[in-house]
Amino acid sequence: MKNFTSRTLRKLYLDFFAEKGHAVIPSASLIPENDPTVLFTTAGMHPLVPYLLGEKHPAGRRLCDVQKCVRTGDIDEVGDSAHCTFFEMLGNWSLGDYFKEQMIPWSYEFLTSPKYLGIPSDDIAVTCFAGDGDCPRDEESAKLWLECGIKKEHIFFLPKSGNWWGPAGTTGPCGPDTEMHIIRNHAEADKLGAFDFDKAPAGTFLEIWNDVFMQYNKNAEGKYEPLAQRNVDTGMGLERTLCILGGKESVYETDIFEEAIAVIEKLTGRKYSEGGEVTRAFRVVLDHARTAVFMLGDKKGIVPSNTDQGYILRRIIRRAVRFGRNIGLAQGSLKDIASAIINKYAEVYPELTENSSKIYEELEKEEGKFSRTLQQGLKEFEKVAAVLPQGGKIDGITAFHLYDTYGFPVEITGEMAREKGLEVDVEGYAAAFAEHQAKSRAGSEAKFACGLADHKEETTRLHTATHLLHAALKKVLSPDIEQKGSNITEERLRFDFNFSRKLTPEEVTAVEELVNGQIQKDVPVVMEEMSYDEAKSRGFVGLFESKYGERVKTYSIGDFSREICGGPHAKSTGELGVFKIVKQENVSAGVKRIKAILE
């Protein structure tokens, strides 16, 4: 077979389908648009779901691309020869245009033609849908493969578990598929009957491509309805295809990872080729560093946090740090590895270069947070594990302690436990976590209610300044800024809010100028009582909403600030003096604190 680089394979694929009348479209973001069912783009079809359902795509009915994808369901398997959390998917689509009769011959051409991949036809096996109550056996695809030149004994049928492509989330377009495999062991392959594909010994076949024929839409009730338009969606994993074509043992031995491997070897003095746990650690670091780079560098880039995508990112970075320490990677190494990854992908994904400063900053920050407590946490874990019998269980409170005190996501604790033949009480952990959240919420509400130390004149003025600060932060940083707590004395105000980083000097200046601008205008502070629903409809901001009754007090400062609040406040902003931010602090992941005074 031919030996391709990642660059030449991407180009070859896109050029092939461009010649077949397909528009080449850019990769969509890793963060899905308006889809709460998944955290990341998990397949090439995901960003195109609206068009697969009938909406017209501006580029036409024939499309092809290389899509960035993330799947973390098999994260514990990363470290073997094939699994990656980030990967690139080569794909082409027909949006109600061509169907099986054109796609299958094209697939055969791309796979076997000397102009393209040049794989011998006798080395290819295909699988088709065996049929069930939802859809009949896909004899049409089998007939087309036979006509192309695939041997009859190399055409197999599988049930829905093997040859049916479900929706990206819980609902959406789906249908039968046909998969193409490289035969690695002809002696074993030739023993199989048409329905015996899944009985083959491991390593007999290696999947290279998949053509999905979308004929159905799975609705919210779990029923399959015929699609108004029939579509084709194909997927060829770039990394796996490079591995197969190059005759490599692992996806990590392709050109994609060459530079990053060299960096790790230089930093550690170890060799990727050492095998065993050393090679496994290399692979985990390589994969997780690459995934983190793409998450942070995406046009909708996320940052580590304790929820949703940010939690996955945090877990990936911390898992990379833990495995990196096993081969001698010192703190701060992820930045050097990330630099090699960015350099490799710079031409294909320029957003990585554009966002490189953010990528390095967030990696260093998260690596630093975890590194400071990693050794202590590992010692604590070893103490716990040492007193448990083989097959024993780490209780939920201990697992939560490792998370709360040492920053170990429960999945990392579970992974370390399995390495020692132990388990984790995940339900107990969830209960301890929920109790912690309840206490935190109660503490936050109490803090808000008692945010003012007293009702002295100085304290009251600072309380009014807090409202101006809140409004200014929304204008300078994001409309999504929300108060997470406050504490006001006669000397200073302290304001906690959701944000991922400290304000830049320019942002601090902009906030101060906005607040002081309102003070200089001497705007009246107007109090009105109204129903809670009316207050919300008029745009008043309300925090800790469960504490409000049917009628509330509202305070407005012109059109600049509108909040539901119990008071007290200054009569007008002209009483406040000069507002100045004197300090910024981290409170917790995703929560920042500002301290300010009135001069």
Statement: residue 197 has pLDDT above 70: yes
The pLDDT, as a whole number, for residue 543 is 53
Whether the model clears a pTM of 0.75, i.e. scores above it, the answer is no
Supply 536's token pair: 């919300």
The pLDDT, as a whole number, for residue 167 is 73
Statement: residue 153 has pLDDT above 90: yes
Contacts of 505 (CB under 8 A, 6+ apart): none
Angle at 123 between CA 160 and CA 136, to 5 degrees: 25
Q: CA-to-CA distance for 374 and 331, rounded, in angstroms?
A: 11
What b/e sequence results for 408-422 when a residue is b if at least 16 CB atoms lie within 10 Å of its CB, and e otherwise? bbbbbbbbbbeeeeb
What b/e sequence results for 500-516 when a residue is b if at least 16 CB atoms lie within 10 Å of its CB, and e otherwise? bbebeeebbebbbebbb
Q: CA-to-CA distance for 200 and 185, rounded, in angstroms?
A: 10
Contacts of 241 (CB under 8 A, 6+ apart): 9, 90, 208, 209
Q: CA-to-CA distance for 481 and 498, rounded, in angstroms?
A: 6
The pLDDT, as a whole number, for residue 306 is 79
Statement: residue 59 has pLDDT above 50: yes
Average pLDDT over residues 266-283: 95
Helix ranges restricted to H, 84-228: 100-112, 139-148, 160-163, 186-189
Q: CA-to-CA distance for 352 and 375, rounded, in angstroms?
A: 32
Q: Assign 35 a pLDDT band (cuts: 50, 70, 90).
A: low
Question: Could you give the percent of the chain with pLDDT greater than 90?
Answer: 58
Statement: residue 509 has pLDDT above 70: yes
Q: Is 442 exposed, middle or buried (0-12, 13-18, 19+ CB in 10 A)?
A: exposed
What CA–CA distances, in Å, run from 350 to 11, 116, 345, 418?
Answer: 17, 27, 8, 40
Q: CA-to-CA distance for 488 and 190, rounded, in angstroms?
A: 79
Question: Could you give the percent of the chain with pLDDT greater than 70?
Answer: 93
Q: CA-to-CA distance for 160 and 155, rounded, in angstroms?
A: 16
Quote the distance between the C-alpha of residue 2 and its chain's center. Answer: 34
Statement: residue 594 has pLDDT above 90: yes
What CA–CA distances, in Å, run from 1 to 182, 185, 219, 405, 548?
Answer: 11, 16, 43, 53, 70
Say if CB 169 and CB 37 are below 8 A apart.
yes
Average pLDDT over residues 204-232: 87
The pLDDT, as a whole number, for residue 263 is 98
Statement: residue 302 has pLDDT above 80: yes
Average pLDDT over residues 44-69: 88
Q: What share of the chain is helix, strand, coil (3-state, %, to 5)?
A: 45, 20, 35
Checking DSSP bridges between strand 172-183 and strand 124-129, what pairing results, if any?
A: antiparallel
**139-148, 352-361, 408-417: least confident range:** 408-417
**3-12, 69-78, 85-94, 433-442: least confident range:** 433-442
**What's the Rg (C-alpha) of the chain?**
29
pLDDT tens-place string over residues 397-445: 998 888 888 888 888 899 899 989 999 999 999 888 888 766 644 433 3
The pLDDT, as a whole number, for residue 537 is 86
Identify the CA nearest to 588 among candidates 396, 437, 453. 437
Backbone φ and ψ of 218, nearest 5° = -85, 120
For residue 568, cis peptide bond before it (omega within 30 degrees of 0): yes
Supply 111's token pair: 């796979």
Average pLDDT over residues 247-252: 91
Identify the CA nearest to 228 among candidates 95, 386, 114, 137. 95
β-partners of residue 555 are 527, 563
Backbone φ and ψ of 402, nearest 5° = -65, -30
Residue 543 has a CB neighbour count (10 Å cut-off) of 18
The pLDDT, as a whole number, for residue 443 is 38
Statement: residue 346 has pLDDT above 90: yes
Q: Assign 148 a pLDDT band (cuts: 50, 70, 90).
A: very high
Identify the CA nearest to 370 among candidates 313, 427, 291. 313
Supply 41's token pair: 């783009």
The pLDDT, as a whole number, for residue 440 is 47
Residue 354 has a CB neighbour count (10 Å cut-off) of 13
Q: Is 549 exposed, middle or buried (0-12, 13-18, 19+ CB in 10 A)?
A: exposed
Q: CA-to-CA distance for 289 and 422, rounded, in angstroms?
A: 28
Kindly report the average pLDDT of the chain as a whole number.
Answer: 89
Average pLDDT over residues 240-254: 92
Residue type, 243: C
Continuous segment of H or E residues that includes residue 175: strand 172-183
Q: Assign 34 a pLDDT band (cuts: 50, 70, 90).
A: low
What CA–CA distances, in Å, run from 25 to 14, 63, 202?
Answer: 10, 7, 37
Say if CB 466 and CB 562 are below 8 A apart.
no
Say if CB 96 and CB 230 are below 8 A apart.
yes
The pLDDT, as a whole number, for residue 453 is 58
Q: CA-to-CA distance for 237 and 231, rounded, in angstroms?
A: 20
β-partners of residue 496 are 485, 593
Say if CB 497 and CB 592 are below 8 A apart.
yes
Q: CA-to-CA distance for 363 and 139, rounded, in angstroms?
A: 51
Quote the distance between the C-alpha of residue 477 and its chain's center. Answer: 23
Residue type, 593: R
Q: CA-to-CA distance for 117 and 246, rounded, in angstroms?
A: 11
Average pLDDT over residues 505-521: 95
Q: Assign 308 a pLDDT band (cuts: 50, 70, 90).
A: confident
The pLDDT, as a whole number, for residue 546 is 37
The pLDDT, as a whole number, for residue 439 is 60
Quote the distance between the C-alpha of residue 494 and its chain's center. Answer: 33
Supply 74's token pair: 């098999």
Continuous segment of H or E residues that includes residue 537: helix 532-537
Identify the CA nearest to 273 among candidates 289, 291, 257. 257
Q: CA-to-CA distance for 457 and 460, rounded, in angstroms?
A: 5
Statement: residue 551 has pLDDT above 70: no
